[in-house]
């Protein structure tokens, strides 16, 4: 692994766990096992390093989900695939939601403006929903509201993990069990909401 990669990986973890303000350049260097000056050698400044990582991470939010989703015919199936794929992604990067949300709330939305697949979201997701509603295949719910609800339900456990853990008396196993069963449960909710 090259020094640059070491730095990137270390910075990634530090920023994800502690946020921009909470992260120290020295901590990144220590974690990467290299000299602090290397950080500035490869990435100009703390801001630049953070920016690079954030840009890379935000692209993860909507990865190949698009393609997976497009394969499915019915809208309900599309949503189900979305929930599955999204859950897998978040399991791989549990801090991603917190990271993105704190960042976008602190700094302006200039950061993710280019990378949010708004077009896909509006022209494809929303459009295909309108279509099935007018065909009477699904119930007439507000597409935007529905989308934010699915996102909220999917993301919440990853954001509120400490609180949820506390509710289940700190029992990790129960928490994992809960997370595992969540995908099926959410798919059920979606069917209840959308099936006419």
Partner DNA sequence: AACGTAATTAACCAAATGGTTAATTCCAAA
Partner DNA sequence: TTTGGAATTAACCATTTGGTTAATTACGTT
Residues engaged in binding a copy of itself (CB under 8 A): 18-19, 21-22, 98, 101-102, 104-106, 108-109, 112-113, 116, 118, 121-122, 139, 141-142, 144-146, 148-149, 151-157, 159-168, 178, 181-182, 185-186, 188-189, 192-193
User: How many residues lie near DNA (CB under 7 A)?
Assistant: 16
Binding to DNA (CB under 7 A) within 43-102 occurs at 44-47
Cα–Cα distance for residue pair 194/149, rounded to 1 Å: 13
CB of 119 to DNA, least distance (A): 34
CB of 95 to DNA, least distance (A): 19
Residue 34 binds which entry of DNA, a copy of itself, none, with Cβ cut-offs from 5 to 8 Å by kind? DNA
Residue 112 binds which entry of DNA, a copy of itself, none, with Cβ cut-offs from 5 to 8 Å by kind? a copy of itself
Residue 116 binds which entry of a copy of itself, DNA, none, with Cβ cut-offs from 5 to 8 Å by kind? a copy of itself
Cα–Cα distance for residue pair 96/112, rounded to 1 Å: 14
Distance of CA 16 to CAs 9, 23, 94, 152, Å? 11, 9, 9, 20
Residue 94 binds which entry of DNA, a copy of itself, none, with Cβ cut-offs from 5 to 8 Å by kind? none
Cα–Cα distance for residue pair 28/14, rounded to 1 Å: 7
165 binds DNA (CB under 7 A): no
Judged by the rule CB under 7 A, the positions of this chain that interact with DNA are 3, 23-26, 34-38, 40-41, 44-47
């Amino acid at each position: 692994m090259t020094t640059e990669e070491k730095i990137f990986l270390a910075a990634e973890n530090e920023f994800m766990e502690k946020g921009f303000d909470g992260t120290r350049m020295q901590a990144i260097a220590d974690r990467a096992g290299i000299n602090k000056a290397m950080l500035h050698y490869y990435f100009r400044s703390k801001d630049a390093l953070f920016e690079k990582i954030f840009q890379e991470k935000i692209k993860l939010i909507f990865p190949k989900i698009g393609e997976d989703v497009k394969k499915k015919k019915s809208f309900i199936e599309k949503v189900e695939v979305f929930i599955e794929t999204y859950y897998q992604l978040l399991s791989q990067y549990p801090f991603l939601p917190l990271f993105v949300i704190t960042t976008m709330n602190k700094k302006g939305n200039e950061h993710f403006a280019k990378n949010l697949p708004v077009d896909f979201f509006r022209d494809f997701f929303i459009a295909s929903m309108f279509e099935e509603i007018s065909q009477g295949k699904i119930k007439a719910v507000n597409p935007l509201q529905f989308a934010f609800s699915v996102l909220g339900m999917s993301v919440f456990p990853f954001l509120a993990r400490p609180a949820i853990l506390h509710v289940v008396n700190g029992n990790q196993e129960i928490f994992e069990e809960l997370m595992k069963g969540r995908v099926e449960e959410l798919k059920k909710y979606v069917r209840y909401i959308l099936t006419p």
